[in-house]
């Protein structure tokens, strides 16, 4: 077991202090910080404007534990699913989703998940641990490199919609956003990031209080408490009234409409009553609605709703003057679509 400290777990000030304790000037610490987060260095050997002696000293004192791509699968539609190997031989999955106009990275925030959503493959896994901020950052870096290699263009959007619940890993999620968006990091606009939550009311309000500048999506999937609790146990402790209050608070503080993600499942949440329930809920605060095709998983017997029923459901929302989009699933043939991710990297 290594006794060296992971240098990427330190703040910039802590790195500067550590370098000064080695007899180095403060600017060396700032140089190293930029190598870590702006240039995404994965080894001290890459830090070529540092002396060989200093790099050797860093190697003795600190370690780098970058994630790596273990496996990739490419869908017929061009979607790429990656299994990432982490420093402790845990695995998470992320997805690169290309369209004609943009590329999106879908990243994970936990190894496994604790929320037990009945229609989601990840929900059938045990939560093993939270990801560190640097492990979330690494997924973005690796998927961006893959996008450049595969499609010749960088990432346009990042969505925290992979494995795990980001708001149950709040501190690491927040720090990863800072690393991705800061000028001394990847310098991506926070408006190109979306954090998706299954619905933890007090943490949604904390996001607003903390000055979040990114987008927020709520995995809703049912708009009455009985139905939602039956497929999303998190609703028992975070019922719809509390979520509506939190989302209204989010909008008042950030002036950004949250997006309601609604996976349409045959004979579960796709009827006329369910459409009316959704209309009533969505009218409680400004929002947008994404209707999502259900992607079958082997752990559950749910089925996607038929095209006619999906159109009828969408038309009812549009008639109620709500902003609604139907999102078509990508990567279904490689289990890379929404709700299909698992720890599949193990040999």
CB 176 within 8 Å of CB 125: no
Pairing type for strands 215-219 and 259-264 reads parallel
The whole-angstrom separation of Cα 293 and Cα 330 is 10
Quick one: CA dihedral 71, 73, 78, 79, positive or negative? Answer: negative
The whole-angstrom separation of Cα 220 and Cα 239 is 11
Which residues, 6 or more positions from 218, have their beta carbon under 8 angstroms from its beta carbon? 196, 197, 198, 199, 204, 243, 247, 258, 259, 260, 261
Q: What is the dihedral of CA 116, 208, 192, 241, to 10 degrees?
A: 40
23: left (phi over 0), alpha (psi -120 to 50) or beta: left
CB count in 10 Å sphere of residue 194: 20
Cα angle value 89/200/171 (rounded, 5°) = 50
Closest CA to 160 of 170, 151, 150: 170
Active site residues: 93, 338
Kindly state the tokens that stand for 240. Answer: 């719809």
Pairing type for strands 91-98 and 80-85 reads antiparallel
Q: Cite the beta strand spans of the chain per DSSP E.
A: 5-6, 62-63, 68-74, 80-85, 91-98, 103-106, 110-111, 129-130, 157-160, 193-197, 215-219, 259-264, 288-293, 323-327
Kindly state the tokens that stand for 181. Answer: 């968006």
């Amino acid at each position: 077991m290594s006794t060296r400290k992971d240098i990427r777990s330190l703040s910039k000030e802590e790195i500067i202090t550590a370098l000064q304790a080695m007899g180095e000037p403060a600017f060396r610490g700032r140089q190293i910080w930029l190598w870590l987060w702006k240039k995404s260095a994965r080894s001290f050997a890459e830090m070529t404007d540092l002396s060989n002696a200093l790099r050797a000293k860093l190697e003795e004192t600190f370690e780098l534990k970058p994630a790596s791509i273990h496996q990739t699968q490419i869908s017929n539609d061009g979607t790429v699913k990656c299994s990432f190997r982490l420093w402790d031989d845990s695995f998470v999955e992320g997805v690169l989703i290309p369209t004609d106009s943009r590329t999106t990275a879908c990243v994970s925030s936990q190894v496994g998940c604790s929320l037990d959503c009945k229609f989601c493959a990840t929900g059938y896994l045990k939560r093993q641990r939270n990801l560190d901020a640097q492990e979330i950052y690494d997924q973005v870096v690796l998927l961006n490199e893959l996008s450049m290699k595969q499609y010749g263009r960088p990432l346009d959007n990042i969505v925290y919609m992979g494995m795990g619940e980001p708001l149950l890993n709040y501190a690491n999620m927040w720090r990863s956003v800072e690393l991705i968006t800061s000028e001394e990091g990847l310098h991506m606009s926070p408006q190109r990031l979306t954090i998706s939550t299954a619905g933890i009311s007090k943490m949604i309000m904390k996001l607003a209080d903390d000055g979040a500048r990114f987008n927020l999506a709520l995995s809703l999937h049912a708009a009455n408490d009985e139905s939602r609790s039956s497929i999303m146990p998190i609703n028992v402790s975070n019922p719809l009234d509390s979520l509506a209050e939190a989302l209204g608070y989010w909008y008042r503080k950030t002036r950004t409409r949250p997006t309601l993600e609604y996976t349409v499942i045959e004979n579960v949440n796709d009827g006329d009553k369910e459409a009316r329930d959704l209309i009533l809920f969505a009218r409680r605060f400004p929002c947008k609605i994404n209707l999502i095709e259900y992607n079958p998983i082997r752990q559950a017997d749910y089925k996607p709703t038929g095209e006619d029923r999906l159109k009828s459901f969408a038309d009812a929302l549009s008639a109620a003057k709500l902003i609604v989009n139907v999102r078509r699933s990508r990567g279904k043939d490689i289990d890379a679509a929404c709700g299909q991710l698992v720890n599949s990297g193990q040999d």
